Amino acid sequence: MASEHQGERIAKVIARAGLASRREAEHWIEAGRVSVNGAVISSPALNVTAADRISIDGTPLRARERTRLFLYNKPRRLMTTHSDPEGRPTIFGALPKHLPRLISVGRLDYNTEGLLLLTNDGALARVLELPKTAWERRYRVRALGRITQDALDKLRGGVTVDGVHYGPVEATLDRQQGANAWLTFTIKEGKNREVRNVLLHLGLQVNRLIRVGFGPFELGALDDGAVEEVPTATVIEKLGAEIVKESGADFAGPVLDHAPPPRVSRRAQARAGERGRSQKASDREPARPAPHAAKDDRQKRPTPKKHRRDRTGGPRPSRPKPSNKPLPDDTAEIKPSPNKPKDRR
């Protein structure tokens, strides 16, 4: 087992394996579900290395998957969380089931749409969220009200709203469309409801907010609700060597199969159960000979053919066989049958 200053925290290793978040992994450890080198541990204050054997509920921890990054076009009315106390739908419930367990890089509000970065590496997500990373967040905004470019230019030095200070903002008035103004809004901090609060301070009420860019990544033509993986080479190039080193991202690991098992209908399950029961019965009981089989293997006698009977109970008369005799000539005299009685009129 690693010493106190070697390796990585056990909860971090479990999280990087894609099984749970760090907090969930810590709960598993406290519940006695995690063992290291055959011994159950009770505290997450433990560092481990690749030489240690980690098991969850007796099952060995699978290999660490390579760091992966996804672009997701978040629709409106979805929460950026794994569970919502109010029961509202979440992005993780809407994602395809074949994806690994993912973590969002930052959050988007319930009614905010657009680009959201997702990754299976919690350490990378935390580095990208740090203020010192200073990645720009770019938005397209539709807001109710009128504004001038001069008023927007004053945001470049930052603004304080209700005791909260927001850093420099680059805002451009694209057009005034009826009662609404369309803006391009660029910020670096990404504080909670920053765009809405700053524009409300200027007398504008945001009614549509779309994030179109985050750092070097763009929403592009990604469809609403669609998710797309960024190729590994592109991720390394756009993250840069400093972020890769600080996050400890691993781009050499394998890509694991996360496809769910195929669904089996109840009818197929019932048939499989019947086959299993019949197979077990055949294993228990030897095959019995057919009841009509003779003990001395003599040839079975043919069953006599049964004659059909008519309604009276007697044998049914057979049909007359066709005759090859020529038909009588119509002009020939027809003589009465000797058995037919004569007409007495």
Q: What is the CATH number of the domain that holds 205?
A: 3.30.2350.10
More confident residue, 165 or 267: 165
Domain extent for 43: 8-60
CA distances 88 to 84, 85, 91, 96, Å, are 6, 8, 10, 18
Residue 339 lies in a domain: no
Same domain, 56 and 77: no
139-187: per-residue pLDDT in tens? 999 999 999 999 999 999 999 999 999 999 999 999 999 999 999 999 9
Q: Are residues 22 and 117 in the same domain?
A: no
**CA distance readout (Å), 303 to 28, 190, 258, 306, 316:** 75, 93, 64, 9, 20
Mark whether 113 and 32 lie in a shared domain. Answer: no
Residues 49 and 110 occupy one common structural domain: no
166 shares its domain with 28: no
Q: Is 187 helix (H, G, I), strand (E, B) or coil?
A: strand
Range from 47-56, 79-88, 151-160, 331-340 carrying the lowest mean pLDDT:
331-340
Quick count: other Cβ atoms within 10 Å of Cβ 318? Answer: 7
Task: Please report whether residue 126 resides in a domain.
Answer: yes
Same domain, 99 and 53: no
Specify whether 217 is located in the same domain as 81. yes
Do 17 and 148 lie in one domain? The reply is no
What is the domain count for the chain?
2
According to DSSP, the residues that pair with 40 across neighbouring strands are: 35
Instruction: State the Cα–Cα distance between residues 163 and 157, nearest whole angstrom.
Output: 16
Residue 297 within any structural domain of the chain: no
Share of residues in the chain with pLDDT > 90 (%): 59
Greatest mean pLDDT among 5-14, 109-118, 130-139: 109-118
In this prediction, residues 15-44 reach a mean pLDDT of 89
CATH of the domain at 35: 3.10.290.10
Task: For 194-212, write each residue's pLDDT tens digit.
Answer: 999 999 999 999 999 999 9
**Could you tell me if residue 91 is inside a domain?**
yes
Tell me if 204 is assigned to some domain: yes
Last residue of a domain, one of 247, 265, 294: 247
Domain identity same for 41 and 78: no
Verify that 241 and 119 share a domain, yes or no: yes
Given 52, 84, 109, 153, which residue is catalytic?
A: 109
pLDDT band at residue 65 under the 50/70/90 scheme: confident
Which residue, of 198, 222, 247, is where some domain finishes?
Answer: 247
Asked if 198 and 109 sit in the same domain, the reply is yes
Does any domain span residue 296? no
pLDDT tens for residues 102-133? Answer: 999 999 999 999 999 999 988 899 899 988 89
Specify whether 109 is catalytic: yes
Whole-number pLDDT of residue 236? 97
Measured in whole angstroms, how far is the alpha carbon of residue 99 from the centre of its chain? Answer: 6
Are 134 and 200 members of one domain?
Answer: yes
CA dihedral 130, 135, 141, 147 (to 10 degrees): 100
Between CA 217 and CA 150 the distance in angstroms is: 29
pLDDT class of 293 with cuts at 50, 70, 90: very low
Give me the pLDDT at residue 331, please: 47
